[in-house]
Homo-oligomer: A and B are copies of this chain.
Amino acid sequence: MTDRHIDVHKAHDHEACIDTALARARALCDDRDVQLTPIREKVLAIVWKSHKPVGAYQVLDELARTHKAARPPTVYRALDFLIAEGLIHKIESLNAYLGCGEAGVAHTSQFLICRVCGTTEEIVDPKLDHALDAAARRARFTVERKMVEIAGLCGRCAG
């Protein structure tokens, strides 16, 4: 496999980004015997159009261009499916959705969200993950879902 950990802040071949994500999604759904239907795939492609979280109604607007019957439930059902399959994440502090760069790999939601350009980078930091687990264990808490969202300035926007 090629290195998927690209720097989202730098110029890169984003078409390839999207293609990789879609191909990966198809493979994962196939493995799991779940259906990546045309609607779901279109929604996934829309979410992947950038490295910025996208709102559900923004997805709806895009989807409606090629799918006139699209309504809020159409979009939310697709988003729910994609989240359940680990293909996208919800960014809670923005009520928006972002393609998962680590689909198929167990990991925690950890994000760096640039306040200026909106670009949101998913990071995978085992030490941070371990610190989360340790904190929960200390409080006798059984972890089901971990959310880490760090807002601020990306290197490009700060520099």
Contacts from A to B (Cβ < 8 Å):
92-93, 110, 112, 114-115, 121, 123, 125, 127-128, 130-132, 134-136, 138-155, 158
Contacts and interface: CB of A to CB of B under 8 A. Distances in A.
Sort A-B residue pairs by CB-CB distance and give the 8 closest, nearest first.
A140-B155, A144-B152, A131-B131, A142-B153, A92-B92, A145-B151, A128-B131, A92-B93
B149 A92 contact: yes
Given A131-B128, A135-B128, A147 B147 contact: yes
A146 B143 CA distance: 19
B144 A115 contact: yes
Contact of A132 (B128, B130, B134): B128
Mostly, the A contact residues are mixed
A41 B125 CA distance: 40
Given A93-B92, A148-B132, A141 B153 contact: yes
Given A142-B158, A145-B150, 4 more contacts: A125-B131, A136-B152, A141-B153, A146-B150
